[in-house]
Amino acid sequence: MIDCRQDTGGVLVRVRARPGAARDHVAGEHGGALKVAVTAPPEAGRANAAIARTLAKALGVRKSAVTLIAGATSRDKTFRVVGVTVAEVARLADPGAT
């Protein structure tokens, strides 16, 4: 189960980043965090921007609805997503979910 909770401004989601992957995708769960793999390198904020885009696409929200809250230089990050529920975010951790 991933660690995500409702906040006054949206849903806070813990993310485990995997930069330099073969493709951008949500890769399930890792230690209570949503594992997100992106092709961008971890330099100059490129991976963070790619993770935000990947989350937005997977959740069906605008890119502006996803904001990095903590962990800009770490693999472990926290994002705020506006316009979704905790259940919608939790479904991303299950690769068999539709």
| Res 1: pLDDT | 79
Answer yes or no: is 33 within a domain. yes
| Res 94: pLDDT | 76
Report pLDDT digits (tens) over 11-62: 999 999 999 999 999 988 988 999 999 999 999 899 999 999 999 999 999 9
Answer yes or no: is 31 within a domain. yes
CATH code: domain of residue 33: 3.30.1200.10
Answer yes or no: is 98 within a domain. no
Residue 69 domain boundaries = 4-91
* DSSP, res 80: E
| Whether pLDDT at 4 is above 70 | yes
Answer yes or no: is 97 within a domain. no
How many domains does the structure of the chain reveal? Answer: 1
Distance between CA atoms of residues 45 and 9, nearest Å: 23
94 SS3 class: coil
Answer yes or no: is 96 within a domain. no
Tell me, yes or no, if the pTM score tops 0.85: yes
pLDDT band at 95 (very low <50, low <70, confident <90, very high): low
Q: 2 or 46: whose pLDDT is higher?
A: 46
